[in-house]
Structure 1
């Protein structure tokens, strides 16, 4: 286990702090190579789990990785809006993403530890996780999570009032000097904004992954692999993000399914005074891990395929109208 985290740590450091430290706009070829490498590594890692621990843990890893990866793609919509709203120079966006993804990993690590401790001591927390995921699924299906424009939160507005913040970037620096006066650069606001939104992302992703596996090792590793290569995916998808119109529908199905699965599992091990005479409901069927993986693959894959088909139809009709 220690060796695994060492290797993943090396991957993470190289991805974000070696490659990510070069302030440039990556080419399409560079993006595809990086994404293909990390996807291949995730598939290999799942195969190793299969070989060492068996079928069930491997399927749980693949299910968790696909779910977290899909949620990460959805999060890229928000990153695009933040970058645009704060006019982050394109050559600095890779660096900003590196910092944002690092914050996301730290926050998810904290949430995983807290979630694992809660689940171990209070299994009824599955009811809360399940209800939250179903609520989130309904919001996503209704389009209430669509962020067409960015609104600064109270922390950012307060910071603007109490500190000097210039409108101009000075490379990667947080502080700059103008006419002998020290100012914060917009980079500080960008980091705070991405950090606070990462907290909200964690609220969605951590209950979702715990609905697929209770193993903290699988939960954490699937999150790491979902974040690796995310900055390259940001530049690769760039102009395509707004064309993946059915991705929210696919995510809604996945989140709703996992929410129902969590509640069904909670009914097995908990007693409710108003159900079944206060006894656990053993008759509630258990959803097998292979079915969870199948639902995730079909929902996300179907949403992506439907989006591509619609995009081609729109492009074809636009070409005919010219």
Structure 2
């Protein structure tokens, strides 16, 4: 089903409105995001994402609505894996909690742009190269197996080629200058650690997008659904970071759950010529895997703490 231009325009306008509200109203001044603030912001973005799913359901029917919800759940779940990486980046560059939101805000804008590019490229490949679906499937299964075996994305800013290139082009100061990314010093432009952290965040998002974009194409080849599921999942990533950054180590089985999801959706791509698995079965399997991994993690954390409930996470990395 062809999606009219007004629908694309409405999604983009709504996304820009949420970003403007975030930057110019909620976080106009630099401050440390509290747990309470992160919680209601996470609720707001989750409501927006699920609410859009209801709109898709009413507008295009249960099949499209189910595809959106499955894609949104995959992207939201995989985005949790980013949180620990962000914490490591902020720790490496010494970014205080009050400035972390600014880095993540611009990081989200870059992430949306990169995801749009990856989605357009993926759609073009799927439309023009029949066998690429098996390449995507094999890559997802391979990534899932590696993740299940404990192989995770490592953060080494000192070895990152993009960071090295940036440092050659623009000198990086050793200290922060408020919320500024760039400033003129001694007649030349210099970058602050805030810009270095942002570049690293964007670099890592490209790495994560290589997994997440093929994963959602395993659910649907509808570019509108793929794009909107990505956008609404990414919009809530900042709030989710401040809500969960201090508690991610307690989700011991989440990585295994995400690995199983990647293997499942990768296997689905191999079975494309055999038959399409109903979207509600896919949604149920994905939800069951993620739900079981979270429940097992929380139960283990509670047991290890001697029956005490897990403590709430802090807003700072």
Using the size of structure 1 for normalisation, the TM-score is 0.87
Provide the residue aligned with 2:252 in structure 1: 245
SS at match of 1:316: coil
Tell me the secondary structure at the aligned position of residue 143 of structure 1.
Answer: coil
Secondary structure of the corresponding residue to residue 159 of structure 2: coil
State whether residues 175 and 184 of structure 1, in contact with CA within 8 Å, keep that contact through their aligned partners in structure 2: yes
Aligned partner of residue 135 in structure 1, secondary structure: helix
Counterpart in the other structure of 2:220: 213
- Matching residue of 1:314: 304
Task: Pick from 199, 202, 217 the counterpart of residue 206 of structure 2.
Answer: 199
Runs of 5+ unmatched residues, structure 2: 1-6, 310-317
Alpha-carbon distance between aligned partners in 2 of 1:61 and 1:121, rounded to the nearest angstrom: 24
Aligned to 1:273: none
Cα distance in 2 for partners of 1:156, 1:181 equals 19
CA contact (8 A) 1:20 1:98 kept: no
What is the CA distance between 1:188 and its match in structure 2?
A: 2.4
1:143: Cα distance to partner? 0.9
User: When the two structures are aligned, how many residues end up with a matched partner?
Assistant: 302
Structure-to-structure mapping, 1:151-162, within 5 angstroms: 152-160=159-167
Q: Which residue of 2 aligns with 1:286?
A: 276
Whether 2:74 is the aligned partner of 1:80: answer no
Give the distance between the partners of 1:42 and 1:179, measured in 2 at CA: 47
Higher Rg: 1
Residue 11 (structure 1) aligned to one of 15, 18, 26: 18
Supply the distance in 2 between the matched residues of 1:240 and 1:22 (Cα, whole angstroms). 26
Tell me how far apart the structure 2 counterparts of residues 200 and 155 of structure 1 sit (CA, whole Å). Answer: 13
Alpha carbons 1:133, 1:255 under 8 Å: kept: yes
Q: TM-score, normalised by structure 2?
A: 0.88
CA distance in 1, matches of 2:290, 2:23: 27
Q: Larger deviation: 21-30 or 11-20?
A: 11-20
Distance 1:160 1:150 in 2: 11
Give the 5 Å matches for 1:293-308.
Answer: 293-308=283-298
CA change 1:252–1:199 in 2 (3 A) is same
Cα deviation code 1:86-138 (max 9, x no counterpart): 11111100000101111111000011111111111223210110011001001
Do 1:99 and 1:191's aligned partners in 2 also have CA atoms closer than 8 Å? yes
1:177, distance to aligned residue in structure 2 (A)? 5.7
Q: d(CA) in 2 for partners of 1:8 and 1:183?
A: 31
Indicate conservation of the 8 Å contact 2:147/2:255, yes or no: yes
Partners of 1:45 and 1:164 in 2: CA distance: 43
Give, in whole Å, the separation in 1 of the partners of 2:200 and 2:281.
37
SS of the aligned residue for 2:219 comes to coil
Deviation at 1:20, TM superposition (A): 4.3
* C-alpha distance 146-111 of structure 1, shift in aligned 2 (>3 A): closer
- Is residue 140 of structure 1 aligned with residue 110 of structure 2? no
